[in-house]
Homo-oligomer: A and B are copies of this chain.
Amino acid sequence: MTAAPHPKPNPQQLDAIRAVVGPKGIIEGDDKAPYLTEWRKRWHGATPLIVAPASTEDVAKIVKICAAEKIAITPQGGNTGLVGGQIPLGNEILLTLKRMRNIRAVEPLNNTMTVDAGITLAEAQERAHEAGRLFPLSIGSEGSCQIGGVISTNAGGVNVLRYGNTRDLVLGLEAVMPDGEIWNGLKRLRKDNTGYDLKQLLIGGEGTLGIITGAVLKLFPQPAEKVTICAGMSNADDAVRLLSLAQAATGGNVSSFELMYRLCIDLTLKHIPDTRDPLGDKHPVYVLAEFSSGVGVGLRNSVESMLAKALEQGIINDATIAENEAQADGLWRIRHAISEATNGEGLGARHDVSVGTSDIPAFINKANKTVAAIAPGVRFVTFGHIGDGNIHYNVLAEEGAAKDALNDKRATIEQAVYDIIGEFGGSISAEHGVGRHRREDIAARKSPVELNMMRAIKNALDPHGIMNPGKML
């Protein structure tokens, strides 16, 4: 499916939209630039108009005008997406949710919070914390990404193993559908079997089926005890074994389980100040894991015995347990800085892929061999959320090479990695989504049956194709 050829809106149409929001809701002139470039400067766009409605009703009025006039719309949250889904291609109006910032309700006894789409993830976390609860979603951009965008992209992050993806953390949605009708699906319910679960289409729908304006989020009890460890081992097989041991020993109290190959540590120590090698010796592979429990006692003992057993069985070579918050932060600092650390080493080929957790070692081995055959001497900066089967598989040119050394081989490497992902029944975009970036890859690699289902749903709910055209499908 190609994007429907939406014409540039004419001045009268744009005036009608401006009249809905008034001067406060129009972003003009030089103020437009930050909305039209993605933060890494990778995706650039253009738009005839940026509107910032302040209410769901105003969003509906705008979409009604657009539906009647076949004007296309790109919704935008915090503009932190990595695949260009939030950047208009040219004729779409850009609708930012930034002025919709109400916390509509916080209900600790119901473990729910009802919010406007425009609050940041960090604000949602803070408001939950103030109410003595936990909103567990945590991603690098949490200070600026917005709840609406987080939901539209089904964001993942470091706590998925324990608490699930965004999809698992949303109980209800309010959205403006492509015909401009407001759908009130703001249910605060854990159980509701009265028809198709429509919110699931908008979650991860990348704004192609409607504009999310509000959401009911699931809250959790705050954990009473946290234990953070780092372990060094010989290979990824042992990392998978350690995960199994850790889950058995703590019965599912593993919150995060992150894999890092040694090169991740080396580059971080080289480029990022105030980082230090987590263990005395160097090891080929590291695991950074966090355990949390509500019981308040016993967790540290369980983790200690588990690590002793892992040492005894030869699964790990060494391990450290953070003695306090500062030590835990130091370990996490390495993990969080890997992306930044690789930026100093030139632009490689990056992949955000997933396979079954137990397939991770075989995938990495096969991908390394295949990529090395395409581009001898490359370096592999492999890390990720091993408990979710999600690997950030990044390839860098050899040390000292020019920054653009991999440019002409990038596409070949990517397609080869995706071929291997296909063999393992994996996903070529585990967390980051499709947007503009992976649109053609999806079209080429999904089965015709699945593509037809997706297109049938898109056509059924957005027959004029006005919602975020040119993205996802």
Contact = CB atoms under 8 A, between A and B. Distances in A.
B473 A107 contact: no
Contacts of A473: 195
A326 interface: no
A327 interface: no
- Ranked nearest first, the 5 interchain pairs of A and B with the lowest CB-CB distance are A251-B294, A200-B200, A460-B460, A298-B298, A109-B358
Contacts of A168: 164, 168
From A189, A249, A430, A447, name the one whose CB has the most chain B CB atoms within 10 angstroms. Answer: A189
A146 to B, nearest CB: 17
A220 interface: yes
Contacts of A86: none
Contacts of A426: 189
A201 B200 contact: yes
A459 interface: yes
Contact of A194 (B189, B209, B223, B438): B438
A33 interface: no
A314 interface: no
Interface string A422-433: 000111111111
A307 interface: no
Interface of A: 107-112, 132, 153-154, 156, 160-161, 164-165, 167-168, 177, 181-198, 200-201, 203-205, 209, 220-224, 240-241, 244, 247-253, 292-299, 301-302, 354-359, 385, 387-390, 425-434, 438, 442, 446-447, 449-450, 452-454, 456-457, 459-461, 472-473
From A111, A222, A434, name the one whose CB has the most chain B CB atoms within 10 angstroms. Answer: A111
A59 to B, nearest CB: 14
A198 B450 contact: yes
Given A177-B453, A198-B454, A432-B193, A107 B358 contact: yes
A111 B302 CA distance: 21
Contacts of A428: 194
Given A132-B248, A249-B294, A195 B354 contact: no
Contact of A244 (B108, B357, B358): B108
Contacts of A442: 194-195
A447 B184 contact: yes
A356 B358 CA distance: 38
A383 to B, nearest CB: 15
5 contacts: A184-B449, A191-B354, A192-B429, A197-B204, A456-B461
A449 B298 contact: no
A251 B389 contact: no
Contact of A165 (B191, B357, B447): B191
Contacts of A165: 190-191
A222 B221 CA distance: 21
A110 B241 CA distance: 10
A390 B461 CA distance: 31
A450 B107 contact: no
A221 B180 CA distance: 46
A238 B241 CA distance: 44
Given A298-B297, A357-B109, A196 B191 contact: no
A252 B389 contact: no
B194 A434 contact: yes
A107 B111 CA distance: 33
A182 B449 contact: yes
From A109, A182, A390, name the one whose CB has the most chain B CB atoms within 10 angstroms. Answer: A109
Contact of A430 (B164, B188, B189, B250): B189
A196 B454 contact: yes
